[in-house]
């Protein structure tokens, strides 16, 4: 049926929210699970089997890079070569319609070891042995197939929760693995270059020896063990060069000096696994595993129950290492020797006494708080800067959970500083008036272009949509406009000049379509906020509008169904705000702020508590790298004038009052 043949009042189906993508006619993509430099991982469903899986899809830029494609395919081959319960399973591979490779993996629920360590800092010797036992079991299987991982770290170890509530450890990300049969052809990093994550790299990886073998993975296991029982990394340098030198020398503080609870037997295993001379290390994963099992038989451990997280209580006592047939968490406590039961009763009385003292102290603290006011943080004031992208009260409310959390973590009072625009924000930031700032993607790339004095990138926020988002240009579904060119001579609405998805990016899309963002429209307006801009479009105050895609959900809640709109164009995925400190910030202070933000891992108990009832959309933070903002940098270079700033037409005032804006800045 043609457009003219449709019954009156019929609203055409639109692509405002992109149609669910199906790969190879089999895998229907769903929510974004994670995103990195290589691409993104999505939850998906097999169309025929209705089975839930995870699909890792190489990004469009990576698909154009032969090295990225080679690394991605190597990961698929390496993981496909291993069939073991402690290695994430690969079920299928393929290439999408645009030539980007993808791989299909089992869908895991749980959390990474990195998240656990950020929350708990250190683990008991027993739980440490239990986790390492399963990591080594997976490595045994990988090494038997000639696969060396080369990038073991807490972020690549996943504590998967099974349907019965038990947990199993899974090794992830074989992206820089080395396959024995193809060591030369598959190593896309040049010989002599370093491969891995510095803190977990064996000395032979730092020196770039082409002959590094499975013993490099065993060294990384030693570092993992050290990190789990002490809460610290074995080597920390003020620069990469200093860190590398410390690793090469190999003089590490004994774990027991950092944690007296570390048994001598476990310490001996850790130090041997971390020997700088690989001939003095364990020579295979089974040897390390056997040594750890002897240690596990001597120390009480802690395992999560079917309903608890890791390693939050209630915890189950363990006094013997798990057998190969019972690598998952047992459903009930194991037998405990009589002497241990006596010790436990004694410890229980101490715990009850301590709990009583704590309760009395807490009651006193509550009384003092109510009668004298809560004690204020005593450190120097920490100024937290951000552009005022909405009303001052709304920006304050959206960021209040982060301000209060940072104050508690750093012991310093935190003051929110709202600036009129990004120029003022950057001027104050580089002048030393701000200790930390939430820079929009646009502000971040401009700050980096300024060069000295520079900044240190700490983290980026995550929302329910993930660590990035898309901008869209919309029209009304009943407008008859089906291409950007159809907006010529029409009325157009932006969000505000500081919005990446509501101003900067769409101007580039318009130019690419042959339209002048400042002269091709009969009029332009600023809606100031995304939801209000969508409302202007819905009410007919403009014929086209630029907003971020996620605002359509807010529009649904505000009585504006997505079917009322038609998507004319969409941007690349845009990272959220860059949280940064000035380069002059002392390393310890920058680390304290960065660690505090990254401890708010999305979905973690801590993040849920901090953001409970928040008026913003931030649900946590994740690591950020300068490369994440490369798409914004390309657009920024394309859209700036001779003075390095956009040249906007002065739009007419918004004909409607602003409505609440989501956060972070978009």
User: What is the domain-level CATH number for residue 606?
Assistant: 3.40.190.10
Query: pLDDT value at position 217?
Result: 93
Give the pLDDT confidence of 177-197 residue by residue, as tens digits: 454 444 333 333 333 334 457
Question: Can you give the pLDDT at residue 99?
Answer: 72
Is residue 321 located within the same domain as residue 357?
no
In the prediction, which pLDDT does 664 show? Answer: 58
Q: How far apart are CA 422 and CA 424, in angstroms?
A: 5
Domain co-membership, 401 together with 444: yes
What total of structural domains would you count in the chain?
A: 4
Q: What is the mean pLDDT of residues 165-185?
A: 64
Asked if 161 and 270 sit in the same domain, the reply is: yes
The torsion angles phi and psi of 362, rounded to 5 degrees, stand at: -65, -40
| CATH number (domain holding residue 181) | 1.10.510.10
Between helix 264-273 and helix 125-144 the angle, nearest 10°, is: 30
Joined together, the tokens standing for residue 653 give 């005032």
> Would the CA dihedral through 374, 375, 379, 380 be positive or negative?
positive
| Residues 301 and 357 grouped into a single domain | no
Whole-angstrom distance, CA of residue 325 vs CA of residue 630: 48
Does residue 483 carry a pLDDT above 60? Answer: yes
Q: How open is the CA angle 2-4-6, to the nearest 5 degrees? A: 75
Of 133 and 71, the structure prediction assigns the larger pLDDT to: 133
Mean pLDDT to the nearest integer, 253-267: 94
Per residue in 97-112, pLDDT tens? 777 788 888 888 888 8
Phi, psi of 79 (to 5 degrees): -70, -35
pLDDT confidence of residue 379: 74
Taking the alpha carbons at both ends of the chain, their separation in whole angstroms is 39
Per the model's pLDDT, the better-predicted residue between 279 and 470 turns out to be 279
Say if residue 278 is in the same domain as residue 182: yes
Asked whether the predicted pLDDT for residue 59 surpasses 70, the reply is: no
pLDDT score, position 211:
61
By residue range, what is the domain housing residue 451?
Answer: 382-466+576-626
Q: Is 294 a member of any domain?
A: yes
Instruction: Give tens-digit pLDDT for 186-230.
Output: 333 333 334 457 889 888 888 875 567 889 999 999 999 999 999
Rounded Cα distance between 150 and 188, Å, is 14
186 belongs to a structural domain = yes
Residue 76 located in a structural domain: yes
Q: Is residue 654 over pLDDT 80?
A: no
Inter-residue contact 77 to 23 (CB < 8 Å): no
pLDDT band at 537, cuts 50/70/90? very high
Do 288 and 251 fall within a single domain?
yes
- How many residues does this entry show for the chain? 666
Residue 507, domain member (yes or no): no
Averaged pLDDT, 652-663: 38
Shared-domain flag, residues 133 and 62: no
- What was the pLDDT predicted at 639? 59
Q: Please write the tens of the pLDDT for every residue from 577-627.
A: 999 999 999 999 999 999 999 999 888 889 989 988 776 678 899 888 888
Query: Which span out of 183-187, 336-340, 395-399 was modeled with the highest average pLDDT?
Result: 395-399
| End position of a domain, from candidates 305, 326, 347 | 326
| Whole-number pLDDT of residue 64 | 57
Q: What are phi and psi of 207, to 5 degrees?
A: -80, -5
Catalytic residue, candidates 151, 173, 213, 217: 151
Give the DSSP letter string of 598-617.
HTS-TTSHHHHHHHTT-SS-
Query: pLDDT: is 73 or 3 the higher one?
Result: 73
Q: Is residue 554 part of a domain?
A: no
Q: Is 151 a catalytic residue?
A: yes
What is the model's pLDDT at position 498? 67
Which residue spans within 301-429 are E strands per DSSP?
301-304, 315-318, 382-387, 414-419
Q: Give the integer Cα–Cα distance in Å for 550 and 530.
A: 9
What pLDDT was estimated at residue 318? 28
């Amino acid at each position: 049926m043609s457009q003219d043949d449709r019954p009156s009042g019929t609203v055409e189906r639109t692509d405002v929210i992109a149609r669910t993508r199906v790969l190879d006619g089999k895998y229907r993509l769903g929510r974004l699970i994670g995103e990195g430099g290589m691409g993104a991982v999505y939850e998906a469903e097999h169309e025929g089997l209705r089975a839930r899986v995870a699909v890792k899809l190489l990004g469009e830029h990576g698909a154009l890079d032969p090295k990225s494609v080679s690394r991605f395919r190597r990961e698929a081959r390496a993981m496909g070569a291993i069939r073991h319960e402690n290695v994430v399973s690969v079920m299928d591979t393929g290439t999408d319609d645009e030539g980007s490779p993808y791989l299909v993996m089992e869908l895991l629920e749980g959390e990474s070891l990195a998240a656990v360590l950020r929350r708990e800092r250190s683990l008991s010797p027993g739980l440490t042995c239990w986790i390492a036992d399963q990591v080594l079991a997976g490595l045994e299987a990988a090494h038997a197939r000639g696969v060396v991982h080369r990038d073991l770290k807490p972020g690549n170890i996943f504590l998967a929760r099974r349907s019965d509530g038990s947990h199993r450890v899974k090794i992830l990300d074989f992206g820089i693995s080395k396959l024995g049969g193809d060591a030369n052809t598959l190593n896309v990093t040049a010989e002599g270059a370093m491969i891995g994550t510095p803190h977990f790299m064996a000395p032979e990886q730092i020196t770039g020896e082409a002959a590094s073998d499975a013993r490099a993975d065993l060294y990384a296991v030693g570092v993992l063990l050290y990190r789990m029982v002490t809460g610290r990394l074995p080597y920390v340098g003020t620069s990469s060069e200093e860190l590398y030198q410390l690793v090469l020398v190999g003089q590490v503080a004994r774990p027991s000096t950092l944690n007296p609870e570390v048994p001598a037997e476990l310490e001996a295993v850790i130090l041997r696994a971390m020997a700088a001379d690989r001939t003095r290390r364990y020579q295979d994963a089974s040897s390390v595993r056997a040594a750890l099992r002897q240690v596990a038989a001597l120390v009480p451990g802690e395992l999560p129950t079917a309903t608890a997280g890791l390693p939050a209580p209630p915890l189950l006592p363990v006094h013997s290492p798990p057998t190969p047939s019972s690598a998952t968490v047992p459903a009930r406590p194991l037998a405990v020797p009589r002497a241990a039961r006596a010790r436990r009763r004694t410890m229980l009385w101490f715990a009850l006494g301590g709990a009583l003292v704590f309760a009395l102290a807490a009651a006193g603290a509550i009384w003092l708080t109510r009668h004298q006011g809560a004690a204020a943080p005593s450190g120097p004031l920490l100024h937290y800067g951000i552009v005022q992208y909405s009303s001052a009260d709304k920006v304050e409310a959206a960021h209040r959970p982060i301000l209060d959390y940072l104050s508690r973590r750093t012991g310093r009072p935190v003051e929110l500083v709202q600036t009129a625009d990004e120029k003022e924000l950057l001027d104050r930031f580089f002048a030393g008036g701000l200790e930390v700032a939430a820079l929009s993607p646009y502000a971040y790339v401009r700050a980096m272009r300024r060069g000295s004095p520079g900044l240190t990138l700490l983290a980026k926020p995550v929302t329910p949509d993930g660590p990035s988002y898309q901008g869209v240009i919309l029209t009304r579904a009943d407008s008859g406009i089906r291409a950007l060119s159809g907006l010529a001579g029409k009325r157009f609405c932006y969000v505000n000049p500081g919005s990446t998805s509501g101003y900067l990016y769409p101007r580039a899309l318009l130019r690419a379509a042959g339209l002048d963002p400042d002269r091709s429209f009969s009029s332009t307006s600023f809606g100031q906020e995304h939801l209000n801009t969508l409302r202007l479009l819905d009410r007919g105050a403009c014929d086209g509008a630029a907003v971020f895609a996620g605002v359509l959900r807010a529009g649904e809640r505000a009585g504006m169904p997505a079917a009322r709109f038609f998507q004319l164009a969409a941007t690349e995925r845009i990272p959220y705000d860059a949280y940064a400190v000035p380069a002059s910030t002392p390393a310890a202070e920058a680390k304290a702020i960065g660690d505090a933000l990254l401890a708010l891992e999305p979905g973690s108990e801590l993040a849920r508590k901090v953001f409970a009832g928040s008026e913003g959309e931030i649900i946590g933070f994740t690591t950020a790298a300068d490369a994440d903002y490369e798409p914004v940098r390309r657009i920024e270079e394309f859209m700036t004038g001779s003075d390095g700033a956009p040249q906007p037409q002065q739009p007419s005032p918004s004909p409607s009052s602003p409505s609440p804006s989501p956060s972070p800045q978009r």
